[in-house]
Amino acid sequence: VSDSTASFAVFIDPSSNLGYRTIPEGTFDLFGVIDQRDSLYRVVPRGPYDLRFKGNGSGIAFTLPPYIFVEDTSGRYSDPVGEIKIVLKTWADTIKTFSLTLPEELGDSLKLTLSGDLTGTTEPDTIIDNTFYFYSVKLLEDTISLSNFSRPADPCSLVFEIKTSVDSAGVMQAIFEQPTVYVVYPIAMVQAPGPDGLNSAMVGKSVRVAGVVTGPSEVFSPEGKTGFWIQDRSGGVNIFSNSLVGPFNLGQLVLVKGTVTEYNGTTEISPSSSGDLRVLFDQYEVPAPETLRVSEALREDIEGLYVYVKEAEVAAPPSQAGTGKNLYIWNGQAPIAVYVYPETNIDLSAIQVGDIINVQGIVGQYDPEEPYNSGYQLLPRVPGDIEIVTTPPREAIDLSISPNVFSPDIGEVLRIEVQGPATTRFTLKVLDTEGREIARLADSRSGPFTYLWKGLDKNGNKVPIGLYILQLRALESDGQEETINKVFVISTPFK
């Protein structure tokens, strides 16, 4: 192409959204990255929005959200999206007239409203079939909201044809990139198990889904292959290709067509070619992780989801496993296996048993044997996914007695062992069943220590036979208090 000064090369990356488009004609503004191949410098546009036309046919448009779910007759996969928004923007020239042709698949009961940086009518001047014409506007940016629409039963692409003119009497021309809504299966439907309760009911079927990359390919791709995780509004799933494509980065919104497979318990969608993988947006909002409840374990119905485990306890030190490392943690009373790929660049050297950590990542599975009901793993993605909250907790305070039944009359004693930090002060009492103090064996004594009680009260007299309570009160250096009670019996031998 050439401007007023010289000619230069433009390179269209075949894997980009421009790769399958006709070379545009006419005058346009060009944005892109300058790179060099051999001795040739060139401009590389990143997508359709980097070619900005002026005059009739100017403007860009995109849809929010970029995808919706197919019609759900089961009631199990309802889509919270009840409105499609088409955002139409101009670069320089004010749009004076435009038309919008709606896909017939959306039905005939649609409601359409306009809002944004425009003046003039917000109602169409003319409606012919499913095309809406606006002749009296001055538009810089407009949001066209569509509600009360029907959902197709099968995946498809809904193209909204927009034509614009910067002249009130001009001929409207189609904009370069027509906004599209992709109708896809919800990922939760792909993940839903069949009769065995584990493997996807859609194994072997061709599906189309869309989702945000939550686990990037630079971390989860085997050598010479491509693997990454995506998540939509219903669930998450692994994408796997035997060829090297991409990369697919954290936060990209990706459209995927492929066959549903199972690999060692993990549900995957396998594209047959690079054309079955399409990046819709380079930067899209990554969903917030779902926080697991205390003692909630990893399981089949959350496979593929991005989750967060708060204040887990490290149960075993990190250990080598293949090219990565295993780390075992306790989420309350639920054990969780964490697998850390080397590509995450997560440093586990400072982690030790007893540490309290926060961990987030993708719920994966590796179970090489049927029935594929174990091997669930939490898969961190980046260094920030593992955070040490505290070092090992304080030394535990404990009280033990032996025997539980003893007879001072024949010379037996009660052996009392107190365990705890040296900085903790302990008070040790013997109480009767009414809570009255019979004897005080230690008062503000540091631990740990062992005490042998001969069964004498605070006045030096033998305590009568019966049931008693040994009470330990611990006052820690930070002001926290803890009380432990143990029950024992004083007896006498038969004559």
Across 12-26, 121-135, 247-261, the highest mean pLDDT is recorded for 247-261
Whole-Å CA distances, 86 to 76, 145, 160: 28, 6, 9
pLDDT recorded at residue 20: 64
pLDDT tens-digit profile of 137-182? 888 888 889 999 999 999 999 999 999 998 877 789 999 889 999 9
Is pLDDT at 393 greater than 60 in this prediction? no
Rg for the chain, CA atoms, rounded: 35
Closest CA to 8 of 32, 30, 41: 41
Q: Return the higher-pLDDT residue of 18 and 438.
A: 438
Whole-Å CA distances, 408 to 415, 455, 470: 12, 6, 16
Give the DSSP H/E element, type plus range, for residue 187.
helix 187-191
Is pLDDT at 495 greater than 60 in this prediction? no
pLDDT recorded at residue 90: 84
Which residues are within 8 A (CB) of 358 and not within 5 positions of it... i.e. 6 or more apart?
308, 309, 310, 311, 312, 386, 387, 389
**DSSP string across 405-438:** EE-GGGT--EEEEEE--TT-EEEEEEE-TTS-EE
pLDDT recorded at residue 391: 65
How many other C-beta atoms are found inside a 10 Å radius of the C-beta of residue 44?
17
All domains of the chain, ordered by start, with CATH? 9-53 (no CATH), 60-184 (2.60.40), 187-281 (2.40.50.140), 291-390 (2.40.50.140), 398-490 (2.60.40.4070)
Confidence of residue 404 (pLDDT cuts 50, 70, 90): very high
Confidence of residue 358 (pLDDT cuts 50, 70, 90): very high
CA distance 93 to 141: 11
Is pLDDT at 73 greater than 60 in this prediction? yes
Is pLDDT at 297 greater than 70 in this prediction? yes
Say what the pTM is: 0.74
Mean pLDDT of all residues belonging to the chain: 90
pLDDT recorded at residue 392: 60
Residue 352, CA atoms < 13 Å, CB-side half-sphere: 5
